[in-house]
Amino acid sequence: FLANSVARSDFNAEDEKSWQARYDLNFAEFGIPGLTFMTRYVRGTDANVAGTSNGKEWERDVDVKYVLQEGPAKDLSFRVRQATYRSSDGVYYGSSSIDELRLIVEYPLSIL
């Protein structure tokens, strides 16, 4: 288990040091049950990549999720996730710049 393994990167290069700042908000406290928000920023430095120890990378993720609370589709959830990833040398994932936007729909199935 890696604490800083997030949407686009694991921040686990040789000798890499990483940290994460994260904020979660549950809107049930404000009268909107089922709506949640999360944002995080992860930074990695001193990664040993291609024989050098100056590799750097960072990632910023934003999630907004809503779970239906009642009705025939109870527990159906919709999530919008935006991720931005940058690295100093393009060695990670073959690109130094990744921007993505995802719409994730989940519905739990109880088959047992």
94 pLDDT tier (thresholds 50, 70, 90): low
Sheet holding 52-67, edge to edge: 17-26, 35-49, 52-67, 77-87, 97-106
> Between these two residues, 80 and 95, which has the higher pLDDT value?
80
Whether the pTM exceeds 0.85: the reply is no
What CA–CA distance (Å, rounded) separates 84 from 95?
A: 12
Q: How far apart are CA 21 and CA 19, in angstroms?
A: 7
The string of pLDDT tens digits covering residues 10-25 is 777 778 888 999 999 9
Evaluate whether 63 touches 38 at the Cβ level (below 8 Å). yes
